[in-house]
Each structure stands twice: as C-alpha cells, then as structure tokens.
Amino acid sequence: MNNNRIVHRAAWLIALGAASGALPAAAQTAGSVMIRAGATQARPNGSSGELSPPSLPHTTASMRADTQFGGGITYMVTNSFAIDLPIVLPFTHEIDGDGVINGVGKIGEVKALPITLLGQYRFLSPDAMLRPYVGAGVTYTKFYKAQSTAALSALTGGTPANPTTLEIKSKFAATVQLGASFAIDKRWFVDANVTHTFLKTRATLSTGQTLDMNVDPNSYSLAIGYAF
C-alpha cells in the first residue's frame, strides 16, 4: 500500500464521517482507552551525506519505504489531551546506491523498529463525530540486522571471503503528528494520521568508512479502533 493510497482512503473516510451526521459519536472522554489496528507505511525522505574516503566523490545512498501492520493505544488524560503509543511491526528498509553510484541498485538493508510516545491535543467536543488532533513527542528508532550486498563490497574493496559489512546507529529523535478520528458508532472509529520524525543517523562500514544519513521519515497510518 503506497502513501498516496493511504492518504486518499483517509480523506475519503473523513469526508464520509463529516457528511454522515446521523451516526452516533464515539466517546473520547477523560479516562477512555482506545486501541486501533491497521497499516503503517514509513517513507524515508532524506538523502545521505557522502561516504567517507576512500570512495568516489558524491557516493551517497537512500532508503526505500516499507509498509507493515500498525496500530496503537491512546489514553485520554482529559477530554482534550491524550497520551498515544503507536505500535508497529519492524520495517525492512532496502538501501540503494545514490549520487555517483546511482544505478548500482541495492547495497544493503536494515530493520527499523520505531518506539514512539506522543502527547496529543484533540479538537472539538468529546462526543464529536470528527476529532482532528495534533501530537508531538519522541521516537527511539532501533536499527538492527543490517545486511550488505555484493554491490557494496565491490564498491568498497570487499571480497566474497571477506565482504564489507555495515551497522546503523539507533537514535532518539523528535516526532510531530497530524491526524483525525471519526466515529463509526459509539465505540468503533476510524483513525488516520501522518507523523514526521526528524531522524538523522550514521552507517559505519567494516572498512572504517562512515555514511551520515538524513532519514527524516514520514509515516502514514490508517486503522480501525475501539474505545473502552
């Protein structure tokens, strides 16, 4: 599922909810707990810096998007303020050569598990059918199981017997969020949101070379939820 499809579906559902004023509204009052499940796509936006010497000038890399099962738990502290814990399965981001090595294809991949905690402000009344919200918080992204390819080894002097390997540093970063939830009935709702994480990290190769990466991912989530 690409991000355009997620956004289009979210917009359609929001419009449907806004137009269907006869539907009963979901309760989002102080003390309520809401759980949700659906899909989340993480789409890195940034390009990397240059691979440190020895390397060709302008040797850079980029990460591909990935979509996984996602959801979350929200606790309403007051009628308007909530604490949100998004939950998602680990993403697998393929890493492509870019810059002067654009065209060599995949040079590696890495798993990324974002652990995020957000404070949210929800607009309109607790029983409103449509409740837009904004959020801000922090994300710890755990990068693990990084793997290189023969293409990366060829570029950096590795051999089949001694291939070049890489590690990507796990980092904390600030996250902001924009979303909306709207009622299906008094308990069930649909939630759509977009987050942006200001994430920068560093890849270190077994050759001693480093590559600074501006990941800066947008995450697009669409889910069905239930309020207790």
CA distance from start to end of the chain: 29
Question: Residue 7's pLDDT is what?
Answer: 47
- The residues, ordered by sequence, that sit 6+ positions from 212 with a Cβ below 8 Å of its Cβ are 48, 49, 200, 201, 202
The neighbour count for residue 197, using CB atoms within 10 Å, is 25
Instruction: State pTM to two decimals.
Output: 0.86
Question: Residue 2's pLDDT is what?
Answer: 53
- Give residue limits of the domains in the chain: 3-227
pLDDT digits (tens, 9 = 90+) for 52-103: 999 889 999 999 999 999 999 999 999 999 999 999 999 999 999 999 999 8
Question: Residue 79's pLDDT is what?
Answer: 96
Give the span between the Cα atoms of 21 and 46, in whole angstroms. Answer: 41
**Token output for 18:** 């806004």
CATH of 3-227, one of 3.30.70.3000, 2.60.40.10, 3.40.50.980, 2.40.160.20: 2.40.160.20
Task: Dump the DSSP string for 134-173.
Answer: EEEEEEEEEEEEEEE-HHHHHHHT--SSS---EEE--EEE
Mean of all residue pLDDT scores within the chain: 90
**Token output for 182:** 């709207």
The neighbour count for residue 199, using CB atoms within 10 Å, is 22
Question: Residue 46's pLDDT is what?
Answer: 79
Question: Residue 27's pLDDT is what?
Answer: 75
Q: Is the model's pLDDT at 14 over the cut of 90?
A: no
pLDDT digits (tens, 9 = 90+) for 109-159: 999 999 999 999 999 999 899 999 999 999 999 999 999 999 999 999 988
pLDDT digits (tens, 9 = 90+) for 204-228: 999 999 999 999 999 999 999 999 9
Long-range contacts of 90-97 (CB under 8 A, 24+ apart): 91/42, 91/66, 92/66, 93/42, 93/44, 93/63, 93/64, 93/65, 93/66, 94/63, 94/64, 95/61, 95/62, 95/63, 95/64, 96/61, 96/62, 96/63, 96/64, 97/59, 97/60, 97/61, 97/151, 97/155
Question: Residue 47's pLDDT is what?
Answer: 81
Question: Residue 55's pLDDT is what?
Answer: 87
Question: Residue 16's pLDDT is what?
Answer: 47
Q: Please, where are the H alpha helices in the chain?
A: 3-19, 150-156
pLDDT digits (tens, 9 = 90+) for 148-195: 999 999 999 988 899 999 999 999 999 999 999 998 998 999 999 999
